[in-house]
Structure 1
Amino acid sequence: MEFIIFILVQALWFGTISWKFYLAADRKAWEAFVPVYNTYVLVKIAQRPTYWVLLYCIPVVGVVMGIIMVYELLHVFKFRKTWQTAAVMGSFGLYLAFLNYKEKLKYWGRDDAFIKKNLGEGVNSIFYAIVVATVIRSSTFEAYTIPTSSMEKSLMVGDFLVVSKMHYGVRVPMTQMTLPLVHNKIPFLGIPSYVSWPQIPYLRLPAIDPVKAGDPVVFNYPMDNMPVDKKENYVKRCVATPGDSLRIINTNVFVNGEAFKFPDRAFPQYLYYVKTNGQGFSKTQLKRDFDINYLTNTEQRKYPTDQDVYQRTSDEFIMFLQAQHLDDIENLPNVIKVWPVVADRPGSIADSTLPQGLVDLQNGQAEEILFPNPDSGHGERPYDDTWDNFGPIYIPQAGTTVSLTEKNIHAYRRVIGEYEEHDLKINSDGVVFIDGVESDKYTFEKSYYWMMGDNRHNSLDARKWGYVPEDHIVGKPVFIWMSYDKHGKGINSIRTNRVFTTVNGSGERQSYFWHFMVFIALFQIVQIIRRKRAA
C-alpha cells in the first residue's frame, strides 16, 4: 500500500511542477498527472525511444533514468546548463516548478549536435553503462567476495564469486530510492546509500531451481535492522528447507532423521584439540601441506577470523581441520593425540579420560546461549542446545499451522513479530496474543530455511540467529572467477586451482583458467591477422 501511495504522490507532485511543460509541447495538462502514462508522454516530448518507459519503471534503474529524463526535458525547452539539471535534482523538483510557473516556455525539440558537443560521447556512455550494469546486477548475475572464514574450505576468504540471481528466481528490488551499483553504504563516506521509504512489496520471478539442502546460498542477514534487500549479504550452506525437522548430534546433522550429506565440492572443517610433545608446529609446513593458517600475533590482530591454529599451553593447541587431514596431522612427529571438540548439553557428565583443557573448552562452549533461547540478557535458557548438539527444531513452511507453547514461542517469536509483521505480545502468564487476539496456534505465511557454515566451529549461523525467510534469499554462487590468498607468498597468493572454477557439481573442482587464456590468445591472433589482411 505504501508503494501505491508513493506512486500517486509522486505523480501528483510531478504533475504540479511540470504540467505547463506538457502544454508547451502541445500535450494535455492532465497527462502530466497520470502515473506511468506521464512518463510515456515525457519520453515522446524528449524524442527518446519508447522502451525508456520500461527502464524508468525498473526499481533502482528508475533513479538513474529520472536524472536522465530531467536533463532531456530541460534540453528540449532550451534550459541546457548543467547546473540547471543539478538544481532540479538538488531541490527535489522545486527549480522545475519555478521554471514551470515563472518562465515563458517554448518547445525547441532535441538538438543532438548540441548534446554531442557539450556532453560528448563519454557522459552518454557512462549513463548508459550504469543503466545496463544495474539491470544486469539486479536481474542476472552479481559479483561477491568472501570476507570471512565461515565457509572454509568450501568457499574461501578471498574467493571472488559470480552469484546467479536467476536460479532461485530474480527478486524484484524492494528499496526504490537507492543509488545504483552500491549495496547499503556509499563507499568512503560510510553513509546509507538508500532511503527506506517507500518499499515495494516482495515479488520474485519464477525460479530455475528451488533452494535445496546442500546448496550454497547468498542471503540477506535477517538480524540486520535495515530494509530486507539492503541487509548485509551472507553466504552459508542450506542445510534444511521448509517443512524439515533438523537435529544435530555430536556435530552430525540429521534432517528428517537422515544424516545430512555434503556435496562433492564441500570441505567442512571442525575444531580439534591437539596434544603435542612440547614441540610447536611449522607455520610454513602447515600452510604448504594443509593450507592451514598459523598466523603471527600481528597477522591475527589484522585478520581475526583467518586463524586456524591457537596455542593454549606449551603442549596443547586447538586447530580447525578438515577430516581428510586428520590422519596426516596425527602422524606428525610432534603430535601425541588429536580429539574432536564436541560441546555436550549443559549438565552432561564429562569424560574423565579427556585432558582438562579440552573439558574446560567444551564446557565453555556449552554455556553459550543459542537460538531459539530468548536474547533477554537475563540468562533465560529454556533450550539446552549447543553448537554440536542442537534441536530437534522445525523449519517453518508457509501454510503450516503449529501449536504455540510457552517454550516454542521463543522459536517463532521473530517469525511472527518481525518477518510476518504481526503484533505479538506475551503476558506474564505466558499467554500469547497475536494482533490483540489470544492465540494458541499460528499458521505461517512465509517459508524459511536453515543456513549453516561449513566451518562449523567458526561460523555465525542459524544456530545463533535462527531462520532465514524466503524473501531474504538473494542467489546461488555458481562460479569463482578469482581466488586470492592474502596469506600466500608471491605467485602462490593466487589460488590457480580455484580460478575460473564452478562452485557446484559432482567430482573434483576443475579450473578453466588456462582454457580461457588460450581462447584470449587465439582471439588476439585472429584479430592481428584480420587487421593485416585489411591493411
Structure 2
Amino acid sequence: MNKIKAFFRNKWVGFTLASILYLLWFVVWTGNLWFLLGLPIIFDLYISRLFYRYVWHHNAELCRKSKTYKAVYEWVNAIIFATIVASLVHLFFFQMYVIPSSSMENSLLIGDYLYVSKVAYGPQMPNTPVAFPFVHHTMPFSKTKKSFSECIRWPYHRLKGMGSIERNDVVVFNFPAGDTVLLERQEVSYYDMLRDYQRTFGREEGRKRLQQEYTIITRPVDKRENYIKRCVGLPGDTLQIIDTDIYIDGVHQELIEQRQFLYRTATPISDYALEKLNISECTYTDEYGRERAVPSLYFMTDASKAELDRLDKQARESGHGEVIDARKQVATTPTDVFPQDYRYAWNQDNYGPIWIPQKGATITLTTDNLPLYRRIIETYEGNRLEVSDDGQILINGVATDSYTFRMNYYWMMGDNRHNSADSRFWGFVPEDHVVGKASFIWLSLDRNKSFPGNIRWSRMFTKVK
C-alpha cells in the first residue's frame, strides 16, 4: 500500500496522469490544438515549479504573516475555483432551464425546472468565449448591457455526444429568429414587427420607421434566447400538417399524449371542472398588464376533451346542467406563417408539405421554392444571394439553379399547438442552434400558489417525455 501511495505521489506520475486527462478532454474532445498551450502550465505545476519559485511563494509568505490576508485569499481562491468548475460543467455537461411560457403545456408547465443534457447531442463550443460567467446575453440588473465580447469569435464546432436528435425529443435551442433584436422590446420578434411596419407604411418606409423608433442590435448564435420545443421533423423529412395532425413522408405520426389544442364551448366551464380535468383558460394581457380569461375558450388535451365529452353526454341525457359542446378551433384560411409568402397559402393547422434540409443534400432552386430556403442560404450558411430582374438566382455572384446544404435542420413545435410560436411561424432550426436535450424535471413551482403549496411534488425528478 505504501508503494502505491509513493507511486502516485511521484511528480512525474502526477504530471503524466494530469497531461493525459487534459489532452483527452481539452485537445482530443474539443479538437482545438490551441489548448496544447496548457501543457507547459501543467509541466510547471508538477515539475519545474518556476511560477511558484518566482511569484507564488510571495503569496504563501503573506498567508503565513497575516491571518486577514489568508482569510481573504482563501475566499477569493474558493470563489474562483467554484466559478471555473461551474463554468466547465455548464459548457460541457449540462445546464438548468426553467419553463417561462405555456407553449409546451401539458407536457411541461410554467415553473418546471429542467436538467438539460449537453452530452446527449454533444456540447457546442461557444461562439463568444469571452463572456461574464453565469449569465446569458445581458448583464445582471440591466436590460440593455450585453454580457459578452465579440473580440474573439469561434466558428461552429460541436463535440462528440451520446447520440443525435430523435423524433419527438424535447430540445432546448437558441431562437433562430433572435439574431436581430429590438433592445427596447426584446419580448417581441424583430421580424414580426418589421412585417407589421412594412404592411402599414410600405417596404422601405416601414424599415426606416422601425430603425428610428427602436435600438436594433444583433446577437451571435450562442447568445440568442433559449427556446424549448419538441422535434417533430428531422433532416430529410417531408412534413405536412392536416387538420392539426402531423404527417412525415405521408405517414401519420403518433400522437403526443399531453399535446393540447384550443376549444370553444357553448357555455363556460366551472373552476372546479377546470382543475379536475386539467383544462387551462385561454388568457390575454389587457392594457394595464393584467391577465384576463377569454370567455368560452380553453386549452385541453385529448384525454381532458374525452372526459369533458363524457360529462357533457351525461348532462344531455339527464336534462340537468348546461350543455358544453366543446369544439376544436381549426384554422381553415391562410395566415401569417413561414415563409410569409403569398405563394404559400398555409396556416398553423394545415401546413406544407415542406422538405426539411439535410446536410450534403442538393436541391433544385427556383424562384418558387426560394422563400423556403432563402434564410438558410443567406443567414444560417453565410452566402450572398441575389435574384436578377429576369429571375436568375445568384449565390456569391455566381448564377446557379441548385444548392447543397452544409448543415442539418430540424422542425420544432410546441405541445400546446394553438399557443406556441414555433417552426410554423419562423421556420427551420439549424444544428448549430441546438443546445441540448431536456432530460428530467428536478423542481416544479406553481406561480399561482404560495410556499410550500406551490411545490408540485409529483413532478419532481420525473423524466421529460
- What TM bracket, shorter-length normalisation? 0.7 to 0.9
SS, match of residue 125 in structure 1: helix
Alignment of 1:289-368 (within 5 A): 289-293=277-281, 301-302=289-290, 310-311=294-295, 317-330=296-309, 331-332=311-312, 333-344=321-332, 346=333, 366=334, 368=335
The answer to whether the Cα contact below 8 Å between 2:279 and 2:304 also exists between their aligned partners in 1 is no
Do residues 114 (structure 1) and 62 (structure 2) align? yes
Cα distance in 2 for partners of 1:208, 1:371 equals: 32
The answer to whether the Cα contact below 8 Å between 1:168 and 1:210 also exists between their aligned partners in 2 is yes
- Structure 1: runs of 5 or more not aligned: 1-34, 51-71, 78-106, 312-316, 347-365, 375-380, 505-535
Do residues 287 (structure 1) and 275 (structure 2) align? yes
Cα distance in 2 for partners of 1:42, 1:494 equals: 47
Deviation per residue, 1:488-529 (Å, 9 max, x gap): 46644221110121113xxxxxxxxxxxxxxxxxxxxxxxxx
RMSD: 2.7
The answer to whether the Cα contact below 8 Å between 1:214 and 1:262 also exists between their aligned partners in 2 is no
Q: Per the alignment, do residues 473 and 300 of structure 1 end up closer, same or farther by CA in structure 2, a change over 3 Å counting? A: farther
Shift of 1:110: 4.5
The answer to whether the Cα contact below 8 Å between 1:283 and 1:293 also exists between their aligned partners in 2 is no
Alignment of 1:4-83 (within 5 A): 48=45
Cα distance in 1 for partners of 2:450, 2:76 equals: 41
Shift of 1:432: 1.1
Picking from 399, 405, 411, the partner of 1:450 is 411
The answer to whether the Cα contact below 8 Å between 1:483 and 1:498 also exists between their aligned partners in 2 is yes
Instruction: Say how many residue pairs are matched.
Output: 377
The residue aligned with 1:370 is 337
Deviation per residue, 1:261-282 (Å, 9 max, x gap): 245xx40010111112xxx433
User: Counterpart amino acid of 1:269?
Assistant: Q
Q: Per the alignment, do residues 299 and 140 of structure 1 end up closer, same or farther by CA in structure 2, a change over 3 Å counting? A: farther
Do residues 396 (structure 1) and 376 (structure 2) align? no
The answer to whether the Cα contact below 8 Å between 1:373 and 1:411 also exists between their aligned partners in 2 is no
The answer to whether the Cα contact below 8 Å between 1:385 and 1:391 also exists between their aligned partners in 2 is yes
Do residues 387 (structure 1) and 348 (structure 2) align? yes
Shift of 1:155: 1.0
SS, match of residue 176 in structure 1: coil
SS, match of residue 386 in structure 2: strand
| TM-score w.r.t. length of structure 1 | 0.65
The residue aligned with 1:102 is none
Cα distance in 2 for partners of 1:452, 1:426 equals: 31
Shift of 1:289: 3.7
Cα distance in 2 for partners of 1:260, 1:458 equals: 20
Shift of 1:209: 1.8
Bigger Rg, structure 1 or 2: 1
The answer to whether the Cα contact below 8 Å between 2:279 and 2:300 also exists between their aligned partners in 1 is no
Shift of 1:383: 0.2
Identical aligned residues as a percent: 38
Cα distance in 2 for partners of 1:323, 1:36 equals: 53
Cα distance in 2 for partners of 1:167, 1:299 equals: 43
The answer to whether the Cα contact below 8 Å between 2:281 and 2:294 also exists between their aligned partners in 1 is no
Shift of 1:111: 3.3
Do residues 417 (structure 1) and 384 (structure 2) align? no
Cα distance in 1 for partners of 2:392, 2:284 equals: 54
Picking from 220, 224, 242, the partner of 2:178 is 224
The residue aligned with 1:185 is 138
Q: Per the alignment, do residues 299 and 418 of structure 1 end up closer, same or farther by CA in structure 2, a change over 3 Å counting? A: closer
Picking from 486, 503, 528, the partner of 2:464 is 503
Picking from 243, 266, 269, the partner of 1:275 is 266
The answer to whether the Cα contact below 8 Å between 1:169 and 1:206 also exists between their aligned partners in 2 is yes
Alignment of 1:135-284 (within 5 A): 135-190=88-143, 191-225=145-179, 226-262=219-255, 266-276=257-267, 280-284=268-272
User: Counterpart amino acid of 1:369?
Assistant: D
Deviation per residue, 1:254-308 (Å, 9 max, x gap): 0111112245xx40010111112xxx43334412442535779789945x5xx7x
Q: Per the alignment, do residues 39 and 290 of structure 1 end up closer, same or farther by CA in structure 2, a change over 3 Å counting? A: closer
The answer to whether the Cα contact below 8 Å between 1:287 and 1:293 also exists between their aligned partners in 2 is no
User: Counterpart amino acid of 2:133?
Assistant: P
- Structure 2: runs of 5 or more not aligned: 1-33, 180-218, 313-320
Cα distance in 2 for partners of 1:439, 1:138 equals: 40
| TM-score w.r.t. length of structure 2 | 0.75
Shift of 1:120: 3.0
User: Counterpart amino acid of 2:336?
Assistant: I
Q: Per the alignment, do residues 281 and 48 of structure 1 end up closer, same or farther by CA in structure 2, a change over 3 Å counting? A: same
Higher RCO (CA 8 Å, separation ≥ 6 residues): 2
SS, match of residue 230 in structure 2: strand
Cα distance in 2 for partners of 1:152, 1:300 equals: 26
Moved more, 446-455 or 188-197: 188-197
SS, match of residue 324 in structure 1: helix
Cα distance in 2 for partners of 1:230, 1:164 equals: 18
Cα distance in 1 for partners of 2:279, 2:300 equals: 10
Cα distance in 2 for partners of 1:248, 1:422 equals: 31
Q: Per the alignment, do residues 211 and 177 of structure 1 end up closer, same or farther by CA in structure 2, a change over 3 Å counting? A: same
SS, match of residue 402 in structure 1: strand
Cα distance in 2 for partners of 1:300, 1:240 equals: 39
The residue aligned with 1:468 is 429
Cα distance in 2 for partners of 1:122, 1:436 equals: 58
Q: Per the alignment, do residues 134 and 262 of structure 1 end up closer, same or farther by CA in structure 2, a change over 3 Å counting? A: farther
Cα distance in 2 for partners of 1:460, 1:320 equals: 16
Cα distance in 2 for partners of 1:150, 1:113 equals: 58
The residue aligned with 1:12 is none
The answer to whether the Cα contact below 8 Å between 2:282 and 2:299 also exists between their aligned partners in 1 is no
The residue aligned with 1:57 is none
Q: Per the alignment, do residues 295 and 270 of structure 1 end up closer, same or farther by CA in structure 2, a change over 3 Å counting? A: closer
Q: Per the alignment, do residues 115 and 406 of structure 1 end up closer, same or farther by CA in structure 2, a change over 3 Å counting? A: farther
